[in-house]
Every structure is written in C-alpha cells, then in structure tokens.
Amino acid sequence: MNQQDKAQNIEIGSKWQSLKKYTPARVALGRTGNAIPVKEMLQLKVAHAFAKDAVYAAMDVHLIEQSLQQLNFPVLSVCSKAVNRKMYIQRPDLGRQLDDASCIMLQQNSKGFDVGLIIADGLSATAIQLHSFPFIQQIVPLLQKAGLTIAPIVIASQARVAIGDTIGSVLQCKVSVVLIGERPGLSVCDSMGIYTTYQPAMGLTDESRNCISNIHAKGLDYYTAAQKTFLLIQNSIAFKLSGVHLKENADIINLQ
C-alpha cells in the first residue's frame, strides 16, 4: 500500500468509525488497493460460513422439549410436509403445510385456547436453540397473570411462518404466536423473530400478522420482546384483529 492509499484509508476510517458503535454492519473497513483488507475478507468468509451453517442446522427437538418440561406444559412435536432440509429450502410451500400425521395429532388436542405458542426452526435452528426457551420463560407468566389460556406448546420442524396458521386453527387459538429462526445475515446468524396472528387460518398472508424481529444477544432482549408480544396479544384479543390494522392501535392498551 502506497502513502496515498494509507492516507486515504485513515481519512475514510475517521469519517465512518463512529458508526461502528451503532451497528454490526460492515462499515469503515478500509481498503488495500482496490480490495478490502485481508483481515476483513477473512472475517467476511467466517460470517458467511456461520450463516450457511445456521441455515442447514437441525433443530434439537428433544433438547427443547426437556427445557419446556420445567414449565409443566404439554408439548407437541409436529412436522411440515418438507421431509428434509433440502426439500425445505427448495420448496417453501411445503414448509407452510403440516403433514397428515401432525394434523391428526393436533386435532386430538383441539379444545379452544386464547394463545398458541409455536416454536419453528425456520431458516436458523441455531436461533431457536438459543432464544426460544428464554423468551417463553418471560412470556408465559405474563399470559398466566392476565388469565389467558395457553395451548400445548408446539415444536414444528422444517417449518415456515405460515405453518402457525394451520396449527393455531386446528387448536382453535384466538392468537397464534410463532417463534422462528430468521434468515441469517452476515452480521447476525442467530436472530429469532416472532409473528402474532389473530384467528389464524389457512390462506392468510403476511399483512394479517404482526412481527417482532432481531431477538438475539446484540439485539432485542427477551424481556422487552415478551412485553411487546404480550401487548400485541392483548390488543389482538381486545380489537379482534392483527397485522396492518392493529398498528394504529398498538399503544391503546397499556401493560399493567
């Protein structure tokens, strides 16, 4: 690197360096000639590897079941029609549908509940392994204190967000709450999202849901995520709606 490049590198770094404290995004990387420095290139490759691993990782259903036993809730394990990870990635439509055996099992537990909690691997089983149980530990006491009935907790493998519509519908839940691993990025590969839907039913589309995203170690914490989710559930039941129509009324009911 010649002196001119070094000087330019220092100048760019000083202008953008302050942004690093606000975002994990790759800013102020500097450059070597026409390329980014070797160190940054290697870190990018590592991040890509972590993201790829998260997409292909398998959810440890047994381990999640063991954790949930602490809450003394019944737990049901279901599968989508995507029979393996390759099919799940290539056929998103199959990840939105329950297989026949799962539908039959859920029908046997169908009683009618206020809230259905659904844990889905999504595109990052890594996120679900890390964050689903700590979040549920926060949200369950809020629901119980409010007197809301909770369906058996469902763990869905090879699942997309919309699988919660079928699960919630079969269990006759007023509101479904889907915890799902979000698509990994090159900054965060273990982010969990939450989708709430009032009166879940097959065929609903994204405007019918509310979303809370970026739940991970450097993002939204479990306590805050649970408070936000609880508020959405309260409002959905009170106003009998969710999705884009709920946003205007999101702060009408305050948490007690």
> Where do the domains of the chain lie?
3-55, 59-249
pLDDT tens digits, the chain, 256 residues: what are they? 555 555 555 555 556 777 767 776 777 677 777 777 777 777 767 767 777 767 778 899 999 999 999 999 899 999 999 999 999 999 999 999 999 999 999 999 878 999 999 999 999 999 999 999 999 999 999 999 999 999 999 999 999 999 999 999 999 999 999 999 998 877 788 999 999 999 999 999 999 999 999 999 889 999 999 999 999 999 999 999 999 988 655 454 444 4
The predicted structure's pLDDT at residue 255: 43
pLDDT of residue 34: 78
With b meaning 16 or more CB within 10 Å and e meaning fewer, what string describes 119-139? Answer: bbbbbbbbbbbbbbbbbbbbb
List Cβ neighbours of 104 (8 Å cut-off, separation of 6 or more): none
Spatial distance between the Cα atoms of 154 and 167, rounded to a whole number of angstroms? 8
CATH architecture designation of domain 59-249? 3-Layer(aba) Sandwich (3.40)
- Residue at 33: amino acid letter: G
pLDDT value at residue 256: 43
- What secondary structure letter does DSSP report for 35? B
Alpha-carbon distance 50 to 27, whole Å?
20
* pLDDT at site 187: 74
Closest CA to 163 of 213, 201, 115, 191: 201
Instruction: Specify the pTM.
Output: 0.84
Separation of alpha carbons 212 and 197, rounded Å? 12
Q: Which tokens go with 139?
A: 């949200």
